[in-house]
């Protein structure tokens, strides 16, 4: 079929026209593309550039080095140890089982470790290093490094982790660190970004927790370039952080160690306070625990063991434990009576062994009675009836006022967790808490530190320090190493003649043949100790029990026995230290707590090694034996690392 | 029009054909392909492997194929148009029943050692068939409803078969090539108006029915449409890629971040940076200058081809070139619009620039046909 010229021309014109239409439409669309390109690349270029940078640049925090905690002589209580660990990257490892098998021949690895490592590796992205083992020794890490060619993907690494070189010695004071928990983060309004660093640890208890802000320091940062799956390509720049500040405690690590070891085998607490400035030299709560367990992640078994132990190792009994002070409270009652003017101290009271108050009979600890006693002999022989009488004369309000003045019932502001305030019971307190009116019997009970009165061992040490100095001694745990002069302590303004009688009573308690602590006297010159024993009942003795004859303490189950207490200060004529000891359910004060108090006092006075000559001659054989036995347990001086910082 | 019609005296023959090649087109094609080589070198991190080197070789083969096609007389292409079309349809049906599955779609046929993608072949054969059909039909009968229906069917059959694979991108290209041929052949405007009107009406009806009692699609189907139209609604899926692509493109600025300095591409924030998103990499590293110059080159290719189409007195050749134009334009326009966030994500690479073998060869065959139409057009005796 031959096409006509006319038809050909029509075809050509149609195609030409329509072709131009199509070309026009395409040009219009291309214009749109160009406009869009210009819009994005010229007008919004800055925003897109910013987004691209955000994609690419990752800010990483560099954890700061935690500050050290040191004792008063610079002995390291909490430090940072080099932590050698081995990490592995799936990216480079090749045959996982083969490499882990080889690794297990070089370093101790359990089946669990291997299983966990394999799981972590598969769960994470291939370039994320997974920790295989931590806290390896230098030898172990060297073996891994030496065999590097056979261990593809395995890298030995070094980090810092918290270490408490004195282990259980200062566990209750220094506390421990642990990983940041959800609760920690919720408690803070604007959490420090450093807390988000994986495996970052913060103070969980004790000074570690309370001085967290000082110890933590400030994080540095590092800008790195990452790719789309987050792998770091290179470091762009880095800002170093500020390491945490060191904290200097008033604790004397050597004395602390001695005190804790002296409490060995008991559920007990001992406090040593420097009476001249309130420095707490020892704050021992036994039994203790190894805080390093918490840093490494304590096992449930170990934790339950600590939790279910009858002796409550996790509780800091020195500031947290509240005990009826018993006879150690009698100085308070005595001073209250003197200040109120209801007695001059010389006046004597007859003790028949009991006293009837509004139909109830209150007994003295000595069934036969003490006969006529004045304030000094009442303290020395710990006569209860004398103080029943004085308390009734001056009343509970006066006793409470004196108690507060002497440092009881006050919550001290110390940088350790769970500091308890004790209890000076008032009429109002009883109304609110016991829903009953105050009765005279309550006053009588309070006069000898029973009933509702509760004190902590630290408070009893402060009480003793205040009696010894007539100053408002305030306990102090942290000292600024730059602070040169000691702070001036306010006077308590108690009349010297009153205190003279009280101190004399305490002196006779220890040094008079009739005193309740005579067997624990110190014979060394210039180290004479004054003190007061106490025995506080945990359960009141029922009439039936009393009629059946008081059972011997040793026959009672442990947790029903009396608490044993002893407070003391020395030297008598120029007081330096105050010591308080509480032995939970230790039985009688003079037998359980007093020797401990004396030994710790002698340790404080003699650089943690009590000289045999300070003990009365007949006791020296036994003491020498005890000392030798204890030396086995004491930490050696070379174990106490002095930090250069 | 049979080969008897050709006045051999007006046609160049033998080596003289070389003089009549569309030389500007060849020059432009090499330019565009070079953009591709440079970018493939860059996205491989400054390496000829794995992409730039094979791409250069393929382009060389593509050029040879183009010359072979160009020197083959136009009447030959016209005479095999019908057979080619039927073969392509059969192969597409073969894919339907025996095809191998890859990337979530059935696209390939394994014939011996060769992996054939019949949808690529269908791009060319559909254009050839329609051009031959309208050449045969003559200019006066084109708007008759029956003949319009035949033309529409020729375009629709391969389109639907490819759509079933599913391969939306290629289906669009086939439909666009065919549509342009039908339009250029002179089919009455009213048909196109009716077609677009119907599509627009249907889409409106479907979208309007949403939320009413008689809604035409299920809720999840509407949600799919939503995320197709606006990828930012699906920030972890397709939206992530488009978002990263726009960041890369925008951050290029006027002159770009520098050769091999594009952070988005280098750090793998861009997906498929050697294929579908290569334009983004170009725009990131060479900025507005690089991106708009490539767009300009593409437009110049279109202009050169359009000129050939208009100057050709041969109806078959002219329609054929128009088909290639329609196909090629949609090819790069959809890709660019997609990476700029103007169009939904459709897997269409950038022609001649993106890494890919069969697409490159098919494109060169198309341009070979353009040359053939140019060489073998009837020239008035001088």
CB contact under 8 A, B184 and A14: yes
Interface-testing mutation among A22, A36, A227, with chain B (most B C-beta atoms within 10 A): A22
When pLDDT is cut at 50, 70 and 90, the band that residue B379 belongs to is low
CB contact under 8 A, B267 and A40: no
Across the 645 residues of chain A, what is the mean pLDDT of every consecutive 10-residue run? Answer: 75 90 94 94 90 83 89 91 84 83 87 82 76 84 86 82 91 90 78 74 90 89 80 83 91 94 93 94 93 84 89 93 93 94 91 90 89 93 94 93 94 90 91 90 92 94 95 90 71 92 95 92 92 85 62 74 92 95 82 93 93 92 93 87 70
- Is residue A472 within 8 Å of A490, Cβ to Cβ? yes
Query: Which value does ipTM take for this structure?
Result: 0.91
Question: B-chain residues within 8 Å CB-CB of A51?
Answer: 247, 250-251
Tokens standing for residue A546: 């009393």
Of A2, A18, A26, the CB nearest to B184: A18
DSSP H helices, A147-194, are: 171-174, 182-187
Considering its fold, how many domains does chain B have in total?
1
- Is residue A599 within 8 Å of A610, Cβ to Cβ? yes
Task: Tell whether the model's pLDDT for residue B64 goes beyond 90.
Answer: yes
Evaluate whether residue B208 is within a structural domain. no
CB contact under 8 A, A12 and B313: yes
Evaluate whether residue B204 is within a structural domain. no
Q: What is the 3-state secondary structure (H, E, C) of A39-64?
A: HHHHHCHHHHHHHHHHHHEEEEEECC
Task: Tell whether the model's pLDDT for residue B8 goes beyond 60.
Answer: no
Q: What is the mean pLDDT of residues B162-181?
A: 89
Q: Shortest Cα distance from A200 to chain B (angstroms)?
A: 29
Task: Tell whether the model's pLDDT for residue B111 goes beyond 90.
Answer: no
Biggest CA pair distance of chain A: 155
Evaluate whether residue B199 is within a structural domain. no
Evaluate whether residue B224 is within a structural domain. no
Quote the CA–CA distance of A602 and B230 in Å, as a whole number.
Answer: 84
Q: Please choose, from the candidates A447, A460, A573, A483, the residue with its C-alpha nearest in 3D space to the C-alpha of residue A522.
A: A573
CB contact under 8 A, A52 and B299: no
Q: For residues A505 and B141, which has the higher predicted lDDT (pLDDT)?
A: A505
Task: Tell whether the model's pLDDT for residue B243 goes beyond 90.
Answer: no
Q: For residues A438 and B2, which has the higher predicted lDDT (pLDDT)?
A: A438
pLDDT at B13 (0 to 100): 73
- Is residue A258 within 8 Å of A608, Cβ to Cβ? yes
Q: State the residue range of the domain holding B237.
A: 3-187+231-375
The DSSP bridge partners found for residue A283 are: A271
CB contact under 8 A, A33 and B267: no
- Is residue A419 within 8 Å of A411, Cβ to Cβ? yes
pLDDT at B112 (0 to 100): 66
CB contact under 8 A, A33 and B337: yes
Per-residue pLDDT tens for B249-304?
A: 999 999 988 888 888 888 888 878 888 899 999 999 999 999 999 999 999 999 99
Half-sphere exposure of B205 (CA within 13 A, CB side): 8
Shortest CA distance from A20: residue in chain B:
B306
Q: Phi/psi zone of residue A81: left (φ > 0), alpha (ψ -120 to 50 degrees), beta? A: beta
DSSP state of A273: E
Evaluate whether residue B48 is within a structural domain. yes
Query: Which one of A161, A327, A455, A536 is the catalytic residue?
Result: A327
pLDDT at B219 (0 to 100): 78
Q: Shortest Cα distance from A6 to chain B (angstroms)?
A: 10
When pLDDT is cut at 50, 70 and 90, the band that residue B3 belongs to is very low
Of B186, B267, B325, the CB nearest to A14: B186
When pLDDT is cut at 50, 70 and 90, the band that residue B4 belongs to is very low
Quote the CA–CA distance of A260 and A134 in Å, as a whole number.
Answer: 31
Question: A-chain residues within 8 Å CB-CB of B340?
Answer: 33, 36-37, 40
Tokens standing for residue B195: 């077609």
Q: Shortest Cα distance from B105 to chain A (angstroms)?
A: 27
- Is residue A537 within 8 Å of A561, Cβ to Cβ? no
Task: Tell whether the model's pLDDT for residue B314 goes beyond 60.
Answer: yes
Interface-testing mutation among B185, B246, B250, with chain A (most A C-beta atoms within 10 A): B250
Question: A-chain residues within 8 Å CB-CB of B325?
Answer: 19, 22-23, 26
Quick count: other Cβ atoms within 10 Å of Cβ A546? Answer: 11
Interface-testing mutation among B180, B181, B247, with chain A (most A C-beta atoms within 10 A): B247
CB contact under 8 A, B250 and A2: no
Q: What is the mean pLDDT of residues B63-77?
A: 93
A281: Cβ contacts below 8 Å, ≥ 6 apart: A72, A250, A251, A252, A255, A256, A272, A273, A274, A577, A604
CB contact under 8 A, A14 and B303: no
Evaluate whether residue B382 is within a structural domain. no
Question: A-chain residues within 8 Å CB-CB of B295?
Answer: 30, 33-34, 37
Tally of helices (H runs) and strands (E runs) in chain B = 14, 3
> 3-class DSSP state for residue A83?
strand
Quote the CA–CA distance of B265 and B271 in Å, as a whole number.
Answer: 8
Shortest CA distance from A44: residue in chain B:
B250
pLDDT at A545 (0 to 100): 64
Proportion of chain B above pLDDT 70, given as a percent:
92
pLDDT at A511 (0 to 100): 94
Active site residue A327: yes
pLDDT at B381 (0 to 100): 45
Q: Shortest Cα distance from A91 to chain B (angstroms)?
A: 18
């Amino acid at each position: 079929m031959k096409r006509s010229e006319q038809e050909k021309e029509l075809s050509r014109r149609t195609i030409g026209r329509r072709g131009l239409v199509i070309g026009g439409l395409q040009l219009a669309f291309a214009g749109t593309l160009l406009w869009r390109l210009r819009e994005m690349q010229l007008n919004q270029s800055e925003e897109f550039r910013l987004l691209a940078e955000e994609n690419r640049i990752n800010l990483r925090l560099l954890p700061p080095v935690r500050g050290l905690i040191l004792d008063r002589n610079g002995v390291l209580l909490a430090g940072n140890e080099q932590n050698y660990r081995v990490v592995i990257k799936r990216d480079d490892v090749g045959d996982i089982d083969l490499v882990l098998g080889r690794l297990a021949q070089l370093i101790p690895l359990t089946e669990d470790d291997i299983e966990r490592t394999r799981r972590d590796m598969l769960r994470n992205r291939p370039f994320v290093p997974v920790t295989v083992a931590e806290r390896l020794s230098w030898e172990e890490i060297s073996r891994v490094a030496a065999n590097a060619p056979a261990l593809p993907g395995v890298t030995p690494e070094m980090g810092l982790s918290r270490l408490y070189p004195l282990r259980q010695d200062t566990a209750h004071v220094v506390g421990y660190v642990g990983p940041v928990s959800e609760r920690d983060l919720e408690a803070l309004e604007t959490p420090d970004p450093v807390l988000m660093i994986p495996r970052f640890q913060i103070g969980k208890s004790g000074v570690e927790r309370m001085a967290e802000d000082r110890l933590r320091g400030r994080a540095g940062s590092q800008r790195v370039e990452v790719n789309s799956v987050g792998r770091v390509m290179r470091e762009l720049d880095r800002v170093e952080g500020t390491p945490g500040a060191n904290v200097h405690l008033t604790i004397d690590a050597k004395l602390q160690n001695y005190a804790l070891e002296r409490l060995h085998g008991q559920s007990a607490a001992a406090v040593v306070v420097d009476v001249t400035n309130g420095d707490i030299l020892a704050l021992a709560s036994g039994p203790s625990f190894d805080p390093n367990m918490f840093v490494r992640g304590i096992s449930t078994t170990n934790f339950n063991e600590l939790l279910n132990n009858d002796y409550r190792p996790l509780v800091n009994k020195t500031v947290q434990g509240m005990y009826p002070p018993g006879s150690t409270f009698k100085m308070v009652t005595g001073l209250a009576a003197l200040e109120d003017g209801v007695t001059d101290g010389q006046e004597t009271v007859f003790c028949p062994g009991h006293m009837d108050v509004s139909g109830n009979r209150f007994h003295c600890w000595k069934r036969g009675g003490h006969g006529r006693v004045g304030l000094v002999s009442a303290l020395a022989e710990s006569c209860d009836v004398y103080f029943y009488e004085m308390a009734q004369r001056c009343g509970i309000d006066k006793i409470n006022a004196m108690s507060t003045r002497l440092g009881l019932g006050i919550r001290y502001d110390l940088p350790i967790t769970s500091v308890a305030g004790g209890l000076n019971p008032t009429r109002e307190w009883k109304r609110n808490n016991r829903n009953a009116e105050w009765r005279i019997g309550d006053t009588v009970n309070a006069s000898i530190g029973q009933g509702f009165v509760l004190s902590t061992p630290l408070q009893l040490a402060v009480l003793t320090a205040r009696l010894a100095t007539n100053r408002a001694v305030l306990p102090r745990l942290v000292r600024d190493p730059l602070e040169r002069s000691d702070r001036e302590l306010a006077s308590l303004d108690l009349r010297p003649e009153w205190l003279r009688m009280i101190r004399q009573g305490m002196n006779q308690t220890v040094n008079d043949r009739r005193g309740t602590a005579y067997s624990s006297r110190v014979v060394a010159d210039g180290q004479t100790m004054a003190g007061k024993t106490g025995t506080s009942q945990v359960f009141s003795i029922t009439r039936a029990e009393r009629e059946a004859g008081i059972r011997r303490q040793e026959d009672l189950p442990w947790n029903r026995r009396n608490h044993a207490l002893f407070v003391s200060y020395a030297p008598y004529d120029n007081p330096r230290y105050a010591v308080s000891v509480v032995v939970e359910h230790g039985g009688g004060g003079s037998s359980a707590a007093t020797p401990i108090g004396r030994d710790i006092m002698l340790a404080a006075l003699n650089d943690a090694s009590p000289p045999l000559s300070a003990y009365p001659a007949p006791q020296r054989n036994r003491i020498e034996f005890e000392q030798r036995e204890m030396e086995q347990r004491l930490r050696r001086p070379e174990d106490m690392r002095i930090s250069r910082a | 029009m049979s080969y008897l019609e050709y006045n051999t005296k007006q046609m160049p023959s033998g080596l003289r054909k070389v003089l009549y090649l569309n030389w500007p087109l060849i020059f432009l094609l090499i330019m565009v392909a070079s953009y591709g080589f440079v970018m493939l070198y860059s996205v491989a991190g400054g390496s000829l492997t794995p992409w730039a080197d094979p791409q250069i070789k393929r382009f060389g083969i593509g050029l040879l194929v183009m010359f072979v096609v160009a020197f083959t007389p136009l009447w030959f292409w016209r005479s095999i148009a019908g057979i080619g079309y039927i073969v392509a349809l059969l192969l597409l049906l073969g894919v339907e029943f025996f095809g191998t599955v890859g990337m979530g779609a059935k696209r390939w046929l394994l014939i011996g050692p060769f992996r054939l993608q019949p949808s690529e072949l269908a791009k060319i054969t559909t254009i050839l068939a329609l051009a031959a059909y309208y050449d045969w039909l003559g200019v006066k009968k084109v708007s008759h409803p029956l003949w319009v229906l035949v033309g529409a069917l020729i375009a629709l059959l391969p389109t639907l078969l490819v759509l079933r694979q599913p391969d939306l991108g290629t289906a669009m290209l086939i439909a666009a090539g065919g549509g342009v041929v039908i339009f250029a052949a002179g089919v009455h405007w009213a048909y196109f108006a009716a077609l677009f009107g119907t599509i627009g009406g249907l889409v409106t009806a479907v979208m309007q029915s949403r939320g009413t009692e008689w809604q035409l699609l299920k809720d999840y189907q509407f949600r799919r449409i939503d995320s197709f139209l606006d990828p930012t609604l699906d920030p972890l899926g397709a939206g992530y890629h488009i978002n990263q692509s726009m960041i890369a493109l925008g951050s290029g600025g006027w002159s770009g971040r520098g050769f091999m300095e594009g952070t988005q591409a280098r750090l793998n924030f861009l997906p498929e940076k050697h294929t579908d998103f290569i334009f983004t990499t170009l725009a990131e590293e060479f900025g507005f200058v690089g991106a708009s110059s490539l767009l300009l080159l593409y437009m110049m290719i279109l202009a050169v081809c359009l000129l050939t189409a208009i100057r050709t007195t041969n109806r078959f050749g002219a329609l054929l070139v128009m088909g290639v134009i329609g196909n090629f334009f949609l090819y790069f326009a959809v890709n660019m619009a997609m990476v700029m966030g103007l169009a939904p994500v459709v897997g269409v690479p950038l022609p001649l620039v993106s890494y890919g073998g069969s697409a490159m060869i098919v494109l060169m065959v198309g341009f070979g046909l353009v040359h053939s139409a140019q060489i073998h057009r009837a020239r008035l005796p001088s």
